[in-house]
Amino acid sequence: MKRFLPSLIMMCLVVVALKAQTITWTGAGDGTNWEDANNWDLIVVPSISNDVIIPESNDISGYNDITINDHAYARSITLNRLSVLNIYNDITFTDPSLFDYFSVINWYSGDINSGETGASAHISTLTNKGAIYIHSGAMYASSLSYCILNNEGGLSLQYSAVLLLLTGSELINLQYGSVTLHDQSDILPTIPIPGYYTVGAITNYGTLEASQDSGYVDIMVPVDNFGTIDSKQSVLNFSSSYLSNHTIGILKGSNTIKLPDSGTFVNNGRLEPGGSAGVLTLIGDFTNSPSSKLDVELYGYAQGMSYDVINIQGNVVFNGQVNVLLDFEPLINTEFSVVTTTGSITTCNLDTQAFAVYGGHIYEFSVGCHNSNEVVIEVIDIIPAPAMVTWTGNGDGYNWNDAYNWEYLAVPNSDNHVMIPDGSTVEINDNVQIKSITVEGNTVMTLNAGIAFLEPSLFDENVTVNWNLGAIGSFWPDFEGILTNKGTININRPFPTFGAPQFIGAIVNNEGIINLVNGYLILWVSTFNNQPTGLIDIQSVESGIGCSLSGCGVLNNYGVIRKSLGYGNSNFSGIVENMGLIEILIGGISFSDRIGTSFINTDQGTVKGIGAFDTTGLPSYANNGTFEPGISPGALNFIGNFSSSTSSTLAIDLDGLSQGTDYDLLAITGNAEFNGLIEVTMGFEGEINDEFIISTTTGIINSCSLPTQVSAIFDGNLYEFEVTCRNNKELVLTITNKLLSVDSYELSAKTIQLFPNPTRNQFTIRNNSNQNLSIISILDINGRIVRKIDLTEKKRDVVVSLQGLPSGLYLVKLSSMSSSVVKKLLKM
């Protein structure tokens, strides 16, 4: 029996300031101790009124390594990347706090708490995205009180470690979180004291597992399981706790799970014995509800070695279904004893049939309880399997591995083409291998594991794929699975978590939308073609497109790559070739210095926006296309040495005299080589000698091979500009002449602008001529008029709706009384 001394929560706090103040670790003192005032920027030790920031280290050799030996106080704590926190005493904080990715926490003893007690006490929250290692023994256990720990990273109880969940505490292990208990480690309540201490709890959505050490671990607090509990090779003991396995919960493993002693345990979720094939032992009486599933894998005839078995030491009521995964060819009339009991099967209401597909055949199994102490499945029929398998959703309605969700009551395998019809809801939690997959409109698919296929596959229009985990493609570098996406793929898997979404051995043609909500898309030996109608929308700093540890892929952009949310830079690595539009609306885009990373802006490519475009890490960079600072107008920061070829263009909007506000600015941090053309769009009535500094450098302009004069038309006037590179630091436009334009009396490509292009639901036509537009016709690529607008008054800007028109390429014909012009428009 393990003994421990409960941690005490302090009864009161002295608040020394009414207004919170941020205090930041500098390490300028001894560089280690939290209690050394000289380690903080304000030269004081943080108090309960301070928001504490432990900044990200610049490199691994200079990481922050901080030790808490005395009781530490803060209003909130943010532990950033590449920082180590060693905890030997209590930590009290009141506001939401964070241990970020790549942070490491060594927890030896002490209580993490909110500083309050009682029924109305404040509950603080701590989110862990890093790695917490608990080293404390029973005598000086680590504990939580009046605190919720949201675990998105790793929480590991080392050998013989103890975590106490006290009053008002809860460990919420989120979807991507893992809680690992090593040999002899425990998660315990404290000794109940009326009105003071009560028991904490665990809610598991991720993985809660005993490690592969041969040993014994205890969990003695209530557990609600919506994720996976895995005994692996250890005994996982819930005998002194309350355990609820919900419908989406999984109990699995190759060792032993001791079920709660008190009350009747009801299993509403899945039982998955073995790792691949193996034996799971359950100790205790329990009831399998009608919603429960027993998943068994059959790889051969040897019980517990080549096919799964559950060994139950107790009595059981068996309801629900048996799902079979088959990976060999059993003979007809072969029996497999997949459940054995030392007690009795007191009730047996299992579905009497199960099906599996293997080697081009459907195997039908009978399911029954024999001799009141075993469940036996027997092969009763073998028939040829169809090439196409269609989802019905007639089982639980969402789980790919539920055979009852498929038309032949068998989960598809590598012999099958798969059809997911319109309006389905599908969740994949284990890797699947199939020939191909077609997903039709208004289907929602959630990927928590990978899809391997070799033949062309499709996510059609109106399909939504929520991609959290796993790979898509052939899974092999020597094969290529082709996927066309016309729907919406949402990637929400924060980096750097194992299993990040990736394409492996794939050719991807994206004609729809890929939202990088909060996660990286990895390309490994894959080619990603973002087609003209395709959009890659980067929605956080923690998002980007990168390489795997084994290699990089190729990103060919013909459509739009947009950074729409998240301050700071989102990162790209691999081979990136831009033939479309890269648009930065906030923050920035940067490129890694990984070998094999390159960026080419081709002569059809455009980089535009505000924020930053950082090329400092690029081993290879070329610009043959257009750079267009601003979003009508604005400033784009180019970080690195800017270069441009003779085919390149610098596109500038001039709408007034204020730099970066009324007219565009390309601000270069580095040197510059200016070649090619300058394209000016005039949007206001300028005057002779008006000056516009359209680019600046922190270095020098090494070459300036630009035309000495450019022109633009506005409101019937032709403006001529002198182009100069001044002081080897600035690129300057100066109005030298203002004339009545001959071009302004007819419509031409120069006098008409369409923006934004590409667009989604509407676009603007800007008329810089003296001609009145009379008719606007929108034609599809077959020349049919799909929308027509008659204009009765002169307007410089006309907004046109594309609502209701499908995505694709259109021709916009603009007509006046004397002439007309046709321009291309892409609707995404």
CA 505 vs. chain centroid, Å, equals 20
What are the residues whose beta carbons fall under 8 Å from the beta carbon of 1, sequence distance 6 or more?
none
Which residue has tokens 């490690």? Answer: 211
Which residue has tokens 């901080």? Answer: 66
User: Beta 425-428 vs 635-639: how paired, if at all?
Assistant: unpaired
User: What's the pLDDT score for residue 488?
Assistant: 97
Which residue has tokens 């409960």? Answer: 6
Residue 241: pLDDT above 90? no
CB 647 within 8 A of CB 624: yes
Q: Which of 514-518, 536-540, 550-554, 721-725 has the lowest mean pLDDT?
A: 550-554
Pull the structure tokens for residue 252. Answer: 């699995």
How many percent of the chain have pLDDT more than 90?
A: 67
Per residue in 481-510, pLDDT tens? Answer: 899 999 999 998 765 545 689 999 999 999
What are the residues whose beta carbons fall under 8 Å from the beta carbon of 789, sequence distance 6 or more?
775, 776, 777, 798, 800
CB 628 within 8 A of CB 607: yes
Per residue in 28-83, pLDDT tens? Answer: 999 999 999 999 999 999 999 999 999 987 544 457 899 999 999 999 999 998 89
Helices and strands, counts by H and E, the chain: 0, 88
Average pLDDT over residues 268-287: 93
pLDDT bin (cut points 50, 70, 90) of residue 799 is confident
How far is 685 from 716, CA to CA, in rounded Å?
A: 10
pLDDT bin (cut points 50, 70, 90) of residue 598 is very high
Reduced to 3 states (helix: H, G, I; strand: E, B; else coil), residue 520 is strand
User: What's the pLDDT score for residue 58?
Assistant: 57
CB 71 within 8 A of CB 35: no
Which residue has tokens 């094999």? Answer: 596
How many percent of the chain have pLDDT more than 70?
A: 93
Per residue in 728-762, pLDDT tens? Answer: 999 999 999 988 765 555 667 777 888 888 887 78
Residue 19: pLDDT above 70? no
Nearest alpha carbon to residue 79 among 42, 61, 59, 105: 105
Give the number of other Cβ atoms within 10 Å of residue 496's Cβ: 12
Longest dimension (CA), the chain: 102
Q: Which of 187-201, 576-590, 643-657 has the lowest mean pLDDT?
A: 187-201
Residue 773: pLDDT above 90? no
Q: Which strand (E) or helix (H) includes residue 452? A: strand 451-452
Pull the structure tokens for residue 309. Answer: 């078995």
CB 404 within 8 A of CB 383: no
User: What's the pLDDT score for residue 20?
Assistant: 66
pLDDT bin (cut points 50, 70, 90) of residue 16 is very low
Q: Which of 158-162, 505-509, 567-571, 769-773 has the lowest mean pLDDT?
A: 769-773
Residue 98: pLDDT above 90? yes
The one-letter code for the residue type at 202 is: I
User: What's the pLDDT score for residue 197?
Assistant: 43
How far is 120 from 217, CA to CA, in rounded Å?
A: 34
Q: Which strand (E) or helix (H) includes residue 362? A: strand 361-370
Average pLDDT over residues 548-563: 91
Nearest alpha carbon to residue 629 among 687, 678, 686: 678
How far is 532 from 824, CA to CA, in rounded Å?
A: 13
How far is 32 from 6, CA to CA, in rounded Å?
A: 28
Could you list the beta-strand ranges (E) of 146-276: 147-151, 154-157, 162-165, 170-173, 178-181, 186-188, 201-204, 207-210, 216-219, 223-225, 228-230, 235-237, 243-245, 250-253, 256-258, 265-267, 270-273
How far is 86 from 67, CA to CA, in rounded Å?
A: 5
CB 587 within 8 A of CB 609: no
Average pLDDT over residues 764-769: 81
CB 570 within 8 A of CB 563: yes
Residue 18: pLDDT above 70? no
CB 566 within 8 A of CB 540: yes
Which residue has tokens 């500098």? Answer: 26
525 class by beta-carbon count within 10 Å (0-12 exposed, 13-18 middle, 19+ buried): buried
What are the CA-CA distances from residue 218 to residues 236, 652, 732 (Å)?
6, 67, 73
Residue 478: pLDDT above 80? no
DSSP readout, 72-107?
Answer: EEESEEEE-TTEEEEE-S-EEE-S-EEE-TT-EEEE
b/e 336-346 (16+ beta carbons within 10 angstroms → b): bebbbbeebbe
CB 507 within 8 A of CB 480: yes
Give the number of other Cβ atoms within 10 Å of residue 226's Cβ: 18
pLDDT bin (cut points 50, 70, 90) of residue 215 is confident
Q: Which of 206-215, 358-367, 404-413 has the lowest mean pLDDT?
A: 206-215
Residue 353: pLDDT above 50? yes
The one-letter code for the residue type at 33 is: N
Residue 198: pLDDT above 90? no
User: What's the pLDDT score for residue 60?
Assistant: 44
Mean pLDDT of the chain: 89
Pull the structure tokens for residue 146. Answer: 């009046």
Nearest alpha carbon to residue 169 among 146, 191, 192, 141: 146
Per residue in 281-331, pLDDT tens? Answer: 999 999 999 999 999 999 999 999 999 999 999 999 999 999 999 999 999
Region of 135 please: left (phi>0), alpha (psi -120 to 50) or beta: alpha
User: What's the pLDDT score for residue 232?
Assistant: 87
User: What's the pLDDT score for residue 673?
Assistant: 96
User: What's the pLDDT score for residue 192?
Assistant: 46
Residue 164: pLDDT above 80? yes
How far is 694 from 683, CA to CA, in rounded Å?
A: 15
Average pLDDT over residues 167-184: 92
Residue 687 has φ and ψ, to the nearest 5°, of -130, 155
Which residue has tokens 């009379």? Answer: 774
- What is the 8-class DSSP label of residue 416? -
